[in-house]
Structure 1
């Protein structure tokens, strides 16, 4: 819908797309995989709890759900759990009154740095839609396999990026996950420190851009910081059921 915006219409979204919607005051975006039929598979927390980790990253995020949005009866029932879970929701309840955005893959460095916020695109290419949908369905079938929700290294964006690419940071015990919005927040803190020490806005901006690029899942894959989970492993796990 625009050259510099990831906003799309509902008619444009396709099965296998990584979509997101901004939450309270554009502070944090909730991510998921559109699977068709007006349904979205996403990783979330039950009971309306906020993403509490006890770290400085808490101030950058809010609940992955929107407690004030009136969910439909089906989605309300599916989200009435405690703990962390991959669930399916209708598109309306996933958006929670917000706009629909498409997370972009295989973008150029220039396009990546042109985005003022993290969590909207990546240099990494996406796998075919059928692989993306298989990973999303797998986690609906094997509840709990994706682990505990953690804002720093295992959140809703990490799940969506994993579905699109098969890449996981947890396998290599990385400090942070693949989430662009978390890495952007960390990059901003580094930039603020450099700015306070040097007094040079250009230096702070340069550090921010470099840290964002270095933290992108594509660059981390090249360094070996993330690991690809083969589809064959997921198929084998399903066959063992």
Structure 2
């Protein structure tokens, strides 16, 4: 397991690996399942868009990603990367020029909290054969409607690896990066809200510094707890996916 980085070389990949690549200066990551011979099965909105928020940000994200011209598709996987849903493409189209990373499974609690969002889980992976079987099944049958918060590419890869999926009524899926975004927003606001309160109280510089540091530490602790309880290996609102014959 990579303590500092999950970066991996292509020649070290194994069938059934959950891989990902960062996009837009680490703003988010795109996830998929490595099958074999340079092929990756992954879940996308289609037409070059791998993330959707329902806002104007989608156009910015889509236009910022490198794409093959319509009249010059990828010589390996054709125009597969422009389709919506669960698709199979070559690893170059999956990476879009980014670096290759491997998602870690069965990590310890300390390791999980030390790592960045959406890079590992406490949940255990099932066998290579089961993972690949699910990936191909979803490639044929679909994985539902793409939803940034509830059903995205990381949710897809986690389901292929563990056979677990959150209930449809959940507000947030099992995606580690989405859980981190959700956890970070309120805790960051609370941390900075306490700073002007200290000023208004006309505290001494020492008290002011202690108040600020204490608030930041408490907010980070809350952030870690929220990340932890939303992990696939811990949360209780997951169920096993039964594949139809």
Given the two structures, how large is their TM-score scaled by the length of structure 2? Answer: 0.82
Q: How does 1:1-241 map to 2 (within 5 A)?
A: 3-49=3-49, 51-54=51-54, 62-63=61-62, 66-68=65-67, 72-81=74-83, 84-115=84-115, 117-142=116-141, 144=142, 146-169=143-166, 171-199=167-195, 200-220=215-235, 223=236, 225-230=237-242, 234=243, 237-238=244-245
The answer to whether the Cα contact below 8 Å between 2:165 and 2:239 also exists between their aligned partners in 1 is: yes
Rounded Cα–Cα distance in structure 2 between residues aligned with 1:140 and 1:91: 16
The change in CA–CA distance for 1:86 and 1:172 in structure 2 (over 3 A counts) is: closer
Rounded Cα–Cα distance in structure 2 between residues aligned with 1:94 and 1:111: 27
In structure 2, list runs of 5 or more residues that go unmatched.
196-214
State the Cα deviation string for residues 93-113 of structure 1 (Å, max 9, x = none).
Answer: 111111110000000011111
State the Cα deviation string for residues 30-79 of structure 1 (Å, max 9, x = none).
Answer: 000000111000001112346333479x69x9459933467623434213
The answer to whether the Cα contact below 8 Å between 2:30 and 2:50 also exists between their aligned partners in 1 is: no
Pairwise CA distance, 1:4: 1.4
RMSD: 2.5
Pairwise CA distance, 1:190: 2.3
Rounded Cα–Cα distance in structure 2 between residues aligned with 1:10 and 1:208: 33
Rounded Cα–Cα distance in structure 2 between residues aligned with 1:124 and 1:228: 13
The change in CA–CA distance for 1:103 and 1:69 in structure 2 (over 3 A counts) is: farther
Rounded Cα–Cα distance in structure 2 between residues aligned with 1:139 and 1:147: 9
The answer to whether the Cα contact below 8 Å between 2:155 and 2:174 also exists between their aligned partners in 1 is: yes
Rounded Cα–Cα distance in structure 2 between residues aligned with 1:229 and 1:181: 22
In structure 1, list runs of 5 or more residues that go unmatched.
none
The change in CA–CA distance for 1:104 and 1:69 in structure 2 (over 3 A counts) is: farther
Given the two structures, how large is their TM-score scaled by the length of structure 1? Answer: 0.84
Aligned length: 222
Pairwise CA distance, 1:18: 0.2
SS at 2:150 equivalent: coil
SS at 2:234 equivalent: helix
SS at 1:26 equivalent: coil
Runs of 4+ residues deviating >6 angstroms: none
